[in-house]
Amino acid sequence: MRYSIGDLARRTGLTIKAVRFYSDRGLVPPSGRNAAGHRRYDDAALARLDLVRTLRDLGLDLASIRRIVDGEATVADIAARHAEALAVEIRVLHLRRAVWSAIADRGSTTEETRLVHQLARLSEVERRRLIGDFLAEALGDRPDLAGLARTLTPELPEDPSPGQLDAWIELAGLTQDADFRAALRRLADQHEGGLRRDLAAEVRDAVTPALAAGVAPDSPQAAAIVDGLGRDPGELRAWLGVVHDPRRERYLELLAVINGWAAPESLTPTLDWLTAATAS
């Protein structure tokens, strides 16, 4: 069967201009011409044009399409390379999206915009160095806190989701907060000074039932709960002054997103209650 350019356009859904373009480029050569000199195409050309349209719809360049239709490469070969290139492009777009989202959310200045961009573009080695320096300054070079340092280390995947990228940028920004570093260092110093690391768990276990029962923090029941912790109220207030920092909890939330962990339980209601109870 013989087809005109108009026939091919109607059968493939392309415009006549597009069919003529592919024909002029040699991707869909005519099988002959009629008496008037107009190009005519056969069924093989129709099938070839349909393949060209499909590959173009998938974003393939004309040079790669020519190699496929001319039998110089298989669709699978080109697809593998194209998929890899798209994966790289997608990662770049995710990175840009995360950067712009962070800038918009923070209302960043020009200088902050540069910082956010730099943090987002860090290599894995650079990310590890940044976090290592942060934890070394915050926790000190103490063997007893080595396990804690490992649990506070983000592991951004090779192909992170947009949410993980967003979380990494925010967390990396927190590590640049000198006051936050100092606050964590004070928490580590409290550990060395005798306040055990499991105090948070003890507080949660003691206070959670009181919260659920609606015990007021200024009540005699609350005073008994505070006494049951076996800590001097002044010592507890000092501990709360360090641990009850929204940046600490935010760091743990972001860490969970980056590492793909379950969201941590919020200690804020518990610490709010204990803060009020120790102030009474």
User: What is the reported pLDDT for 42?
Assistant: 92
Q: Is residue 92 part of a domain?
A: no
User: What is the reported pLDDT for 97?
Assistant: 79
Q: Is residue 108 part of a domain?
A: no
pLDDT (mean) for 39-51: 91
- Which of 95-104, 139-148, 159-168, 213-222 is the most confident on average? 213-222
Q: Indicate if 248 and 180 belong to the same structural domain.
A: yes
Q: At 112, phi and psi to the nearest 5?
A: -65, -35
Q: Indicate if 42 and 133 belong to the same structural domain.
A: no
pLDDT (mean) for 16-43: 90
- Tokens 């934890």 belong to which residue? 135
Q: Indicate if 146 and 212 belong to the same structural domain.
A: yes
pLDDT (mean) for 229-233: 87
Q: Indicate if 135 and 265 belong to the same structural domain.
A: yes
Would you say 169 and 116 are in contact if contact means Cβ atoms under 8 Å apart?
Answer: yes
DSSP string over 9-29: HHHHT--HHHHHHHHHTTSS-
**Which band of pLDDT confidence, cut at 50, 70 and 90, is reported for residue 191?**
low
Q: Indicate if 63 and 176 belong to the same structural domain.
A: no
pLDDT (mean) for 88-93: 79
User: What is the reported pLDDT for 235?
Assistant: 83
Q: Indicate if 271 and 169 belong to the same structural domain.
A: yes
Q: Is residue 104 part of a domain?
A: no
Q: Indicate if 164 and 233 belong to the same structural domain.
A: yes
Q: Give the domain-ending residue among 48, 73, 98.
A: 73
**Which band of pLDDT confidence, cut at 50, 70 and 90, is reported for residue 239?**
confident
Structural domains counted in the chain? 2
Task: Identify the H or E element spanning 33.
Answer: strand 32-33
Q: Is residue 146 part of a domain?
A: yes
Host domain of residue 61: 5-73
Q: Is residue 238 part of a domain?
A: yes
**What CATH number is attached to the domain comprising 62?**
1.10.1660.10
Q: Indicate if 167 and 47 belong to the same structural domain.
A: no
Q: Is residue 117 part of a domain?
A: no
Q: Indicate if 40 and 151 belong to the same structural domain.
A: no
Residue 197 has pLDDT above 60, yes or no: no
Lowest average pLDDT, out of 33-47, 67-81, 86-100, goes to 86-100
Strand-pairing partners, residue 3, are 41
User: What is the reported pLDDT for 280?
Assistant: 61
Interval 118-146: pLDDT, tens: 888 888 889 999 999 999 998 887 787 88
**Which band of pLDDT confidence, cut at 50, 70 and 90, is reported for residue 196?**
low
User: What is the reported pLDDT for 261?
Assistant: 95
Strand-pairing partners, residue 39, are 33
Q: Is residue 93 part of a domain?
A: no
Q: Is residue 114 part of a domain?
A: no
Instruction: Tell me if residue 39 falls in helix, strand or coil.
Output: strand
Q: Indicate if 144 and 275 belong to the same structural domain.
A: yes
Q: Indicate if 220 and 127 belong to the same structural domain.
A: yes
Q: How many CB atoms lie within 10 A of CB 215?
A: 18
Instruction: Tell me if residue 244 falls in helix, strand or coil.
Output: coil
Q: Indicate if 151 and 48 belong to the same structural domain.
A: no
